[in-house]
Structure 1
Amino acid sequence: MKISRLFDRFFTGIAPEAAYARACHLLERGEHARGFAMLGQMARDGMPQAQFRVAQAYLDGTGTPLSVSEGARWLQHAAEAGHAQSCFTLGVLMLLDIPCADDPAAAVLPGANGPGAAPARDPVTATRWVGRAAEEGMVEAQALYGYLLANGPEEVRDGAAAQHWSSMAAGAGCAQGYLGLGLARLETDAAAAMTALRHAAQEGLGSACYVLGMLHESGRGGEVDLVAAARMYAIAAEQDIRPACARYGMALLRGRGVARDIMRAETWLRRAGLRGDLEAALVVGDLHARGLAEMASDHEAVSWYRRAAMGGHADGCRMMALMCMAGRGIPAPDPHAAAHWLRQAAACGDDAALTDLAAILSRNAEPPAPDDDARAGTEQRALADGFAHAARNGDPVGAFNYAKCLLDGFGRTPDPAQAARWMHEAARAGVVNAQYWYGRMLLRGQGIPADPATARQWIDDAARSGMADAQVAAAQMRITGLGGPRDHAGALSLYHLAARQDHVDAMFSLGAMYGGGHDVPPDRQQAQQWFEKAAGRDNALAQLMMGRYLGRGLAGVTDIAAARAWLHRAQAQGVTQAGEELARLPPDPVGAEGMHAAR
C-alpha cells in the first residue's frame, strides 16, 4: 500500500474533521479516487457531511460510477441525521422524474422501483424533506418550501405558511424567495405580488420575468402593458424558460408589444416546441402549412403537427388528418392515416372529429383490409351509437350526425322517417348543416311529405349563415321558382357569395347567368371569366363552355387551339356535346394542337 494511502487512513482515524477537509481538498484538486475513498470511510462511520459528499459523488459520477440510487441512499442517511443540505437535495431529487436502472445496486428508499432505481417521484414526501431543511435555516430550502406550500399537492398546501417561508427567504435577499412570495400573493393581492416579482426579476430570475410578463399582458395588478409583457417574456426566453419562449414567439408573430417578425417568432416557437410545448409546435406547423415560415415546407408542417399530435393535442391530431387527406407532406393522400388521426383527436376530446371520421368511413375512403370488413362495420355501429346517445341527451350536433347515419345507412339500417325527425331537431336548434339537409329532405320527400315552400325557408336559413352549398341551392330555387317566386337578381347575388368560397358549381352558374337568357344584363366577358375559373377546377360543363366561347369568339376573343384543348378535356369527362363542338372547329394546323394549352 502506498504511503499516501496509509497517511489518508491514519488521518481519518485520529482527526475526522481534518480528514474531511483533506478529502474535500483532494476532490478539488482532481484526486477523485483518493478523496472518495476517504469520504466513504467517514460516511460509513456516520459523519453526515461526509455522507452528503459521498452522495454528491454518486450523483455526479465523481471518483465513482454514477449511481442515483446510491446517491439517494447516502442522502437519506445524512438527512435522517438532520443534515440540512441533504434534506434539501433529497427533497429536490424526489420532485424529479429520474430515469431508472442507472446501476446494479439495490434501491433502499421507500417506493423505489427495484434494483438500480431512483427514488420514486413523491412531491408530498419531498415537501417534508425540504421543510426540514427550511427549519434548519437554509435559505434556498425556505424559498422552495414556500413555493411547494403554495403550489404543491393539495395535502401539503398552506397559504399562510407559504407566505411565511417565502418572506423568510426574501428577507434574506433570496430571489427565489421573492418569486415564491409573489406567487403566494397572486390570488389575494396582485399588486403586492408584482412588487415581489419585480425584486426577483431584478435579480435576473427568468421565472419571475415570465410571471411578470403574464401579469402585464393580462392587466392584473395594474394596467395592460404589452410592451412590458414582451420585454419580460424576452428576458425569460433568453434563460430558456419554455412557456416564455412560446409567449415571446407569439408576441413576435402577432406584433403585440414588439415589432412583428415572423422569422424570429418561428425561432422562439420552435425552441418551445422542441422542449415539449404542444401549442407552440402546432403554431410552427401552421406557419409551414400556410407558407409563412422562412423556408416553408409541407414536410416540416407534418413533422410539427405530428409532434403536437403525439403529445395528445387534439388540434395537432386534426391537422395531421387534414394533411393526410390532402396528401401534403406525405407521398400521397392517405385516408386510412387520416382516419387514424381523427380517432386520436376524438380520444383527446375533439367531439367534432367523430363527424369527420364518420364522413370518411361512409365514403369508404378508408379501405378495410381484406379480412377487416367486420371491424369496419363494428366501428361504424359504434360511431352511430355514440351519435344516438348524444342526440338523446339533447346534443343538436349529435342529432344531426345521427340523422345522417339513419339517412345514409351508416352503422344503422336506413330509416328516412327517423332521420327526418332528428334532422328537424338539429335544424330547430340552429345547426346549419341540419337546416340545409332538412330542406333537401323536404324537397325530395325523404321520410317526410314533400314541401318545397318550407324547404326553401330552411335552405335560406342555412344560406344566410354562410353555407356555400345552401347558397347554391337557394339560388337554383330562385331561378326555377321552386317553393317561392322567381328572383334571378337574388340568385345572382347568392351565386357570388358561394363563388367567393371557391364553390365550383357557383362559378359555372355565374358564367351561365352572365351569358344571357336570365333576368340580369348579359356580360359575356364576365361569363367567360367565370367559366374559365370553373373549368380550371375540372368542371366538365365549364370546359365545354370555354370551348364554345373561344371557338366562336362569343366574348370577343377567338383561340381555336385553346378551344380545342378545353373541348378535349370536356370530352374526356363524358360530355358528348364536346365532340359536336370539336367537329365545328376549323382544321388545326399540323402540330399546332400540341403547342397550345388551355388557359
Structure 2
Amino acid sequence: MNLEPPAMISFNLLKPFGRFSSGSPNRVRARAERLSETAPERALALFAAAAEAGDMEAAFIVGERFLEGKGAPRQPFEAARWFYRAAEAGHVRAQCRLAQLHLFGLPKAAVGPNAKLFHAVELTGADHAAALPWAQRAAEAGAADAQALLAYILTSGPEDVRDPDAAIEWYRKSAMQDCPQGRFGYAVALLMNADTAEQTSAALYHIVRAADAGFPAAHYLLGVSAERGVGAVLDETEARRHYTVAAEAGLSHAQTRLGLMLIDGRGGPADLLNGESWLRRAAIGGDSEAAARLGDIYARGGALPPNYAEAAHWFRTAAERGHKAAARALGMLHLTGAGVARDPDEAATWFQQAAEAGDCDAQANLAALLQGGAVSAFAQDPPPVHDWFERAAEQGDLVGAFNFAVCLAEGVGVPRDDVRAAFWLKRAAEGVVNAQYWYGRMLAEGRGVARDDGEAAAWFARAAEAGMPDAQVAIAECHIAGRGVPRDHRLAQSWLARAASAEHAGAMVALGMMLGGGHDIEPDQRDARRWFARAAEHGHPLGALMLARHAWRGIGGPQDIEAARHWYEHAVSLGAPEASAELALFEKVLADAGTKADIDITLHPASSDAPSARVGM
C-alpha cells in the first residue's frame, strides 16, 4: 500500500499564526479546542502552532487529526511524525499510538530524525521491534492500554521479541486497572494454562468483565463458551446473544458463528436469510471459514436451495485464502462439472493445493486421478502422492497405509511392488473396509502373498458385512464356486441382492444369471429379465447383451424385436463381447425371415445360453 507524500498544509500551518509562538501555548490550544468543530482547518493550524511552541498534548492532537483526516487530508505517516515528537518528549498516549502504528505496518524509517519528507512510504508488515520500545515506555508509565499492547507484542511478535511470562504479567497489570483489552488478554493467558475448573472460572470472570465493557472479542469468546459448554453451562440462546453483539461490532468469526446458528435454528428461531447474510458479510470481510461454509450450504442444499455455481464461487474464495477443505470441494465440482466446467486438470490443481496442505481426502482424490490417467497437467512432474501416503502410513494412519498400498499395487508414482502392497494392505485392513476387500483380492490372486482362498473369503466377508458392494459380490462368487467357503447358492443370492440394492450393476447381472437356471435356486426367467434390464439401464455391457437376447427370444416376457435391436446396439456401443456378431446375425435373421412375424427364434446362436453368474471383481 503506497501513501502519498504529506500534505503541504502541515508545513505552512504556522505562517499566518506565527505570532502565537511567543505567547502561551496552552491559550493557543484552548482556542483551537473551541474552533475544533466549527473551523477544523483553522483549529488544526492552531494546535500545530501550540505544538511548535512546546505543547506536546497539542502535538498529540495534531497527530490524531491527521490520523482521522480532520482539518486536513488523512495522512497516517504525517500523524506518526507528530506522535513521534510528542512521544520523544514523554507523552504517554503518543507513545502508545506510535506503537500501534508500527504494528499496523508503519516502518521504523518513516519517523524519527532521519525520516525523509515528501516521499511516498510503503506500508510494511507489523514491525514488532519498532513498536516494542514505545509500548514499553508507555506501559512503565502506568498506561493500562499500553500494558495490554506490550503484552500482545511479547506474545505475538517474532521469536527474538517474545517473552510469554512477561506478557502474562503485563496483561495482569492492565487487567487490574480494569482495561478491557488487558482483562481479555489475561483471561486468554489463564485459559491456556488452566488445569482446574477454578482456574477456568477465574479466566471467565475477566472475560465477562471485558464483555461488560463492550469488548467484542470477549463477547465472541463467551459465545463459544456457551455454545460448547466449556467452563459454563451449555446455553445456545446465550451463545447467540453474545455472537450477535460481537458480529454487529464487525468481528468476522462471530458473524460466521451467528450465521450458522441462524440457519440451523439454534438458540432461537431459524432465520435463513439473515443467517446467509451474516455468513456472506464474514466471507466478504476475509473469513475463509465463512466462505467455505457458504459453499458447503449451497452445494448440499437443504436449508437453502442448492446452487452449484454459487457454491463454486464461495469455495474458490475460501480456497484462494488457503482453506484446504474448500480447495478439495472446488476440485470435486470441477471433476463432476457441477456449477463449473468439467475439467479434470483444474480439479487436480485444487486437489493438489489441498493435498499439499495436508488434506488426506484430497491426496486420495489426486492419486485416483493420476491412477486413472485422466490428468495431463502433471504429465511431466507428477506430485509425490506416494510420499504423502507413505509418511502417513509410517505414522500409523490406516487410511494413508491403504492409499500407499494402492500406489504400490497400481504403480502410481512408484514401481509396482505387490509384496509391499500386500504388507500395507494387511496393516490397513484392520480398520479400513476398502483395504479388507483389496487384501482379499491379493490373497485370491496370489499377488504379493501366497494364494489362500479361505483367507481371501474371510476378508471379503468382513468387508461385505461392513456394507461394501464390491466385497458382497466377491463373497457371493466365492459361495457360487465353493472357493474358500462351502458352496451355497442361496447365500450367494442373498449377498448379490444386497449389492444390487446398492445399485451395483455387476450384482444385478449376476442375479439375472443365477435366476436364469443352472444354479441351486429356483429359476425365475421373469425376475432374471428384470435384473438384466436394471443392469442395462446402469450401462453394464453384459446386462445390455442379456436383455437383448431375452427380448429377441421372448424369455421372461414377450418377444420384442425393437427392444432387442436397441439393446444389441447399446451392447455394441458398450463393448460387450459377442455383441457385434450377434447383432449381425439378428439383422440377417430378420432379413431372411422377411417379416417380423415369421422370425424363427431357434436360429439364435448357442452363445445365448446363460453363462456363469461370475461378473468379475
Report the Cα distance in structure 2 between the residues aligned to 1:516 and 1:263, rounded to whole angstroms: 60
Whichever residue aligns with residue 470 of structure 2, its letter is D
TM-score, with length taken from structure 2: 0.78
CA drift of 1:348 comes to 0.7
Give the corresponding residue for 1:276.
286
Show structure 2 runs of 5+ residues with no match: 1-12, 598-617
Once the two structures are superposed, residues 421-464 of structure 1 have per-residue CA deviations (whole angstroms, 9 ceiling, x without a partner) of 4444444x544333322322222233443322222222223333
Whichever residue aligns with residue 476 of structure 2, its letter is A
CA gap of 1:479–1:271, structure 2 versus 1, over 3 A, is farther
Out of 164, 188, 195, the position equivalent to 2:173 is: 164
CA contact 2:539–2:574 (8 Å) conserved in 1: no
CA drift of 1:581 comes to 6.4
Give the corresponding residue for 2:94.
86
SS in 2 for 1:14: coil
CA contact 1:146–1:166 (8 Å) conserved in 2: no
CA drift of 1:116 comes to 0.9
Q: Is structure 2 residue 38 aligned with structure 1 residue 36?
A: no
Report the Cα distance in structure 2 between the residues aligned to 1:231 and 1:527, rounded to whole angstroms: 62
Report the Cα distance in structure 1 between the residues aligned to 2:423 and 2:15, rounded to whole angstroms: 96
Give the corresponding residue for 1:407.
409
Report the Cα distance in structure 1 between the residues aligned to 2:92 and 2:386, rounded to whole angstroms: 62
Report the Cα distance in structure 2 between the residues aligned to 1:356 and 1:5, rounded to whole angstroms: 69
Give the corresponding residue for 2:327.
317
CA gap of 1:296–1:479, structure 2 versus 1, over 3 A, is same
Question: Counterparts of 1:172-571 in structure 2 under 5 Å?
Answer: 179=184, 182-183=187-188, 186=191, 187=194, 189-202=199-212, 204-292=214-302, 294-332=304-342, 334-367=343-376, 375-376=380-381, 379=382, 382-384=384-386, 387=389, 396-427=398-429, 429-513=430-514, 518-520=519-521, 530-547=531-548, 564-571=565-572
CA contact 2:505–2:535 (8 Å) conserved in 1: yes
CA drift of 1:418 comes to 4.3
Show structure 1 runs of 5+ residues with no match: 589-599
Report the Cα distance in structure 1 between the residues aligned to 2:350 and 2:494, rounded to whole angstroms: 39
CA drift of 1:124 comes to 6.4
Report the Cα distance in structure 2 between the residues aligned to 1:276 and 1:522, rounded to whole angstroms: 65
CA drift of 1:303 comes to 1.4
Report the Cα distance in structure 2 between the residues aligned to 1:81 and 1:207, rounded to whole angstroms: 34
Whichever residue aligns with residue 111 of structure 2, its letter is V
Report the Cα distance in structure 1 between the residues aligned to 2:214 and 2:109, rounded to whole angstroms: 41
CA gap of 1:391–1:191, structure 2 versus 1, over 3 A, is closer
Question: Counterparts of 1:57-68 in structure 2 under 5 Å?
Answer: 57-68=65-76
Once the two structures are superposed, residues 475-529 of structure 1 have per-residue CA deviations (whole angstroms, 9 ceiling, x without a partner) of 2222222222123333334334434544332344345455665445566676565
SS in 1 for 2:340: coil
Whichever residue aligns with residue 266 of structure 1, its letter is E
CA drift of 1:541 comes to 2.7
CA gap of 1:409–1:180, structure 2 versus 1, over 3 A, is closer
CA gap of 1:430–1:578, structure 2 versus 1, over 3 A, is farther
* Aligned sequence identity (%): 39
Out of 87, 97, 117, the position equivalent to 2:122 is: 117
Once the two structures are superposed, residues 211-232 of structure 1 have per-residue CA deviations (whole angstroms, 9 ceiling, x without a partner) of 2211212323332222322232
Task: Name whichever of 404-413 and 227-236 sits farther off.
Answer: 404-413
CA gap of 1:420–1:295, structure 2 versus 1, over 3 A, is closer
Give the corresponding residue for 2:3.
none
Whichever residue aligns with residue 569 of structure 1, its letter is H
Task: Name whichever of 306-315 and 134-143 sits farther off.
Answer: 134-143
Whichever residue aligns with residue 363 of structure 1, its letter is G
CA contact 1:145–1:165 (8 Å) conserved in 2: no
CA gap of 1:224–1:399, structure 2 versus 1, over 3 A, is closer
Report the Cα distance in structure 2 between the residues aligned to 1:132 and 1:197, rounded to whole angstroms: 27
Give the corresponding residue for 2:111.
108
CA drift of 1:290 comes to 1.8
CA gap of 1:397–1:199, structure 2 versus 1, over 3 A, is closer
Report the Cα distance in structure 2 between the residues aligned to 1:149 and 1:165, rounded to whole angstroms: 14
Report the Cα distance in structure 2 between the residues aligned to 1:14 and 1:387, rounded to whole angstroms: 78
Give the corresponding residue for 1:592.
none
CA drift of 1:563 comes to 5.8
Whichever residue aligns with residue 20 of structure 1, its letter is R
Greater relative CO, 1 or 2 (CA 8 Å, sep 6+): 2
Once the two structures are superposed, residues 110-164 of structure 1 have per-residue CA deviations (whole angstroms, 9 ceiling, x without a partner) of 9999951347524466466446545656565566667778888841544354233
Report the Cα distance in structure 2 between the residues aligned to 1:431 and 1:454, rounded to whole angstroms: 17
Task: Name whichever of 157-166 and 83-92 sits farther off.
Answer: 157-166
CA contact 1:342–1:353 (8 Å) conserved in 2: yes
TM-score, with length taken from structure 1: 0.80
Once the two structures are superposed, residues 230-250 of structure 1 have per-residue CA deviations (whole angstroms, 9 ceiling, x without a partner) of 232233323332111222223
CA contact 1:570–1:578 (8 Å) conserved in 2: no
